[in-house]
């Protein structure tokens, strides 16, 4: 092995170690575990405890419809391997995060060389936003890996002229569309690249292979829709045609696309309100077009530059079509895109000695800045352990008697607590099944007034009085035990009836 090959291997190992450290170190202490995660764990656990294989996934963040079940199917084995500890699926997400770093390196290494690949993958391995969404179990979090894998299979399909890769890219799209519906933007980007690079005579066979791959991975959700007369498809269609959250707010693309691109770069770098991210946006775009022009006669390099530019600019354009609030995780379908394009631009700069030194200096400074602004600067939330301890306390105060359960919170649902109560063998009784003699309430809000609270889990219990109240040590929650008001007949033993 030559000295340079050894150096390549050493640096690649260093980058992978960085990626592993930033994604796995104290993952349990920092993992997010709130109501959404608890809901997912309950569903995944039922696969093994009740033999119930879900054909519907989590609810979408807007619109009132459901995603496909692919995330549950992928994450459930990790929940089982970790003996139903909710940190298990977080390890799966972290492993996919490390795989994304390696895949990004591999693509750039094959197309533009070692140094652009190693520098870009090192930046991706420690980017604060990327790391944050690579350390917890949540359905959008694997999106960067499968989006990049879809694009890579497209590159292989075109360069090697093998239709099996179109099938595999279709299978990846069947996965990403079940992780987040905004990933539908990728299909437009995909076919834009195909139109620009593939002879139109191959389009029918290409489309059939892509469609077959898509159907294979999308079939669980499609099966549910066919059996139930397409309820989600109808809801999605109604949402799309409603016009309230879809459609451009402005047709001034010269402003809106760079503005959205700057927002993405600000989120990725944690640099807010300064000119650096705007400068980087234009360096990426103009450098990408220059690289495309310079490599036009090289079909493989022309393709990768077209992919980088189309994914980056096409993704930003597609996101502008969504007129609602764009949260940072909405960018998940293109988290990798600016890094891929950055690698291609670095390859151009690397051919000039002066620009090579400047580029290396910028990358090193960015790495230091990213590392100094890592997740570990904030104290660990320990949400998994705190929720487990709260569940233990609730079980203790229930006296091993049946109980109803409620949560008062400004931004959370009660599924995380319910998950731990279930795996500890003390599943709360649903009010629709039976009103018990006690209602145990966890309060996460600063102002806790459970009597007369309008949420169903409290209102359905009936008129009550506070029997006991506790403040848990070292956990910012309070627990209440409510019993039925002695001045009225007790509804205990009967099911609560929801009105309307």
pTM (whole model) above 0.95: no
Residue from 19, 31, 97 nearest 380 by CA: 31
Lowest mean pLDDT among 245-249, 281-285, 289-293, 409-413: 245-249
Sort 283 into a burial class: Cβ within 10 Å, 0-12 / 13-18 / 19+.
Answer: middle
CA distances from 25 to 21, 31, 85, 220, 439 (A): 5, 11, 17, 35, 39
Q: What is the pLDDT of residue 251?
A: 57
Mean pLDDT on 29-53: 95
pLDDT at 120 over 60: yes
Helix axes 337-349, 114-126, angle to 10 degrees: 140
pLDDT bracket for residue 233 (50, 70, 90): confident
- DSSP output for 171-231: HHHHHHHHH-GGGGHHHHHHHHHHHHHS-GGGHHHHHHHHHHHHHHHHHHHHHHHHHTT-H
Q: What is the pLDDT of residue 343?
A: 98
Q: What is the pLDDT of residue 252?
A: 61
pLDDT by residue (tens digit) across 93-115?
A: 999 999 999 999 999 999 999 99
Q: What are the residues facing 404 on neighbouring strands?
A: 439
pLDDT bracket for residue 325 (50, 70, 90): confident
Cα–Cα distance for residue pair 178/339, rounded to 1 Å: 24
| Choice between 322 and 377, residue whose per-residue pLDDT is larger | 377
Lowest mean pLDDT among 152-161, 268-277, 348-357: 268-277
Beta strand pairing call for 478-484 and 464-471: antiparallel
Q: Taking the CA atoms of the chain, what radius of gyration do you get in angstroms?
A: 26
pLDDT bracket for residue 244 (50, 70, 90): low
φ, ψ at 374 (rounded to 5°) = -75, 175
φ, ψ at 373 (rounded to 5°) = -110, 30
Q: What is the pLDDT of residue 254?
A: 65
Q: What is the pLDDT of residue 242?
A: 65
Query: Which residue reads 């995944």 in tokens?
Result: 44
């Amino acid at each position: 092995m030559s000295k340079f090959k050894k150096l390549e291997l050493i640096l690649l190992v260093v980058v992978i170690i960085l990626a592993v450290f930033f994604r796995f170190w104290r993952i349990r202490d920092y993992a997010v575990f709130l109501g959404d995660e608890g809901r997912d764990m309950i569903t995944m656990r039922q696969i093994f405890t009740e033999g119930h294989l879900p054909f519907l996934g989590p609810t979408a963040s807007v619109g009132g419809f459901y995603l496909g079940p692919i995330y549950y199917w992928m994450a459930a084995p990790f929940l089982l391997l970790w003996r139903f500890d909710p940190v298990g699926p977080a390890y799966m997400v972290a492993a996919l995060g490390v795989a994304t770093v390696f895949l990004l390196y591999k693509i750039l290494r094959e197309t533009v060389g070692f140094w652009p690949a190693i520098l870009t993958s090192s930046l991706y391995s420690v980017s604060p936003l990327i790391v944050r969404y690579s350390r917890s179990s949540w359905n959008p979090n694997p999106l960067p890996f499968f989006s990049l894998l879809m694009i890579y299979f497209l590159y292989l399909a075109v360069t090697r002229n093998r239709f099996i890769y179109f099938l595999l890219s279709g299978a990846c799209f069947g996965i990403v569309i079940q992780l987040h519906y905004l990933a539908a933007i990728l299909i437009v980007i995909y076919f834009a690249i195909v139109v620009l690079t593939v002879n139109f005579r191959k389009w029918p066979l290409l489309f059939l292979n892509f469609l077959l791959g898509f159907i294979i991975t999308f079939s669980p959700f499609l099966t549910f829709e066919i059996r139930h007369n397409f309820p989600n498809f109808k809801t999605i269609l109604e949402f799309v045609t409603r016009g309230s959250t879809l459609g451009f707010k402005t047709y001034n693309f010269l402003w809106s696309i760079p503005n959205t691109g700057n927002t993405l770069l600000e989120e990725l770098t944690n640099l807010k309100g300064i000119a650096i991210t705007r400068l980087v946006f234009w360096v990426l775009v103009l450098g990408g077009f220059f690289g495309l022009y310079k490599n036009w006669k090289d079909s493989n390099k022309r393709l990768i530059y077209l992919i980088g530019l189309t994914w980056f600019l096409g993704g930003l354009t597609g996101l502008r079509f969504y007129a609602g609030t764009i949260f940072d995780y909405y960018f998940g379908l293109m988290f990798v895109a600016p890094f891929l394009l950055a690698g291609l631009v670095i390859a151009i700069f690397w051919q000039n000695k002066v620009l090579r030194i400047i580029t290396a200096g910028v990358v090193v400074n960015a790495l230091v800045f990213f590392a100094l602004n890592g997740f570990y600067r904030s104290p660990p939330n320990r949400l998994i352990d705190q929720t487990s301890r709260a569940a233990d306390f609730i079980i203790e105060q229930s006296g091993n008697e049946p109980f109803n359960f409620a949560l008062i919170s400004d931004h959370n649902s009660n599924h995380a607590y319910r998950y731990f109560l279930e795996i500890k063998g003390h599943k709360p009784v649903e009010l629709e099944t039976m009103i018990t003699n006690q209602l145990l309430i966890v309060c996460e809000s600063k102002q806790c007034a459970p009597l007369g609270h309008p949420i169903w889990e409290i209102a359905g219990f009936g008129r009550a009085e506070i029997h006991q109240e506790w403040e848990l040590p070292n956990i910012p929650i309070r627990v209440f035990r409510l019993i039925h008001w002695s001045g009225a007949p007790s509804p205990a033993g009967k099911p609560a009836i929801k009105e309307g």
